[in-house]
Structure 1
Amino acid sequence: MTNTQYDVAKRVLVMVVPAAITLISGFGALFKFDTEYIVGSITLVSTFLGVLLNAASNDYNADKPRIDPYEVDNEFTLPTDFPRKDDKNGK
């Protein structure tokens, strides 16, 4: 799967499918027809495809080094060279 194919598949699963489910459910409520089978089927298929897409993403990223966003190399310190209000030079 190419990067473009992955991006399109992810966009469809994340944006298009939920919008379609909402649209079908809304029309069902407006026109008083049962949407349970249609919405349920779409949800099952999209969930299955989402799992496959996640597996493909994990395989792709398996060889890359993982970056831990919570790992801190440096401590955060405030600068001490700015003037304070009680200094003669500060205002």
Structure 2
Amino acid sequence: MQINDKVYNILKYVAQIALPALGTLYFALAGIWGFPYGEEIVGTITAVDTFLGVLLGISAATYSRKNQAIDNKETK
């Protein structure tokens, strides 16, 4: 699986910054203001974030392997 650079960068930002920040914000506000389903919502955000991280890791590994193969062909 490989995605283009623009999509990769957006998803990387979402996975590394936006979702963890959103989960932390909701968890804190749920504790302070008594918002419902704090654990369930934060658990869901964490699960989605982990899944997205795995997909991005697979994409990065595929990209690296592809570029190494191209580099190896060019040096021969």
- Which structure is richer in relative contact order (CA contacts within 8 A, separation 6 or more)? 2
CA RMSD in angstroms, aligned pairs only = 1.1
Percent of pairs with identical residues: 35
Larger radius of gyration: 1
Q: How many residues align?
A: 65
In the alignment, which residue of structure 2 is the partner of 1:75?
none
Structure 1 residue runs of 4+, over 2 Å off? none
In the alignment, which residue of structure 2 is the partner of 1:38?
41
Q: 2:21 aligns with which of 8, 12, 19?
A: 19
Q: TM-score, normalised by structure 2?
A: 0.78
Structure 2, unmatched stretches of 5+, are 69-76
Q: Secondary structure at the match of 1:63?
A: helix
Q: TM-score, normalised by structure 1?
A: 0.66
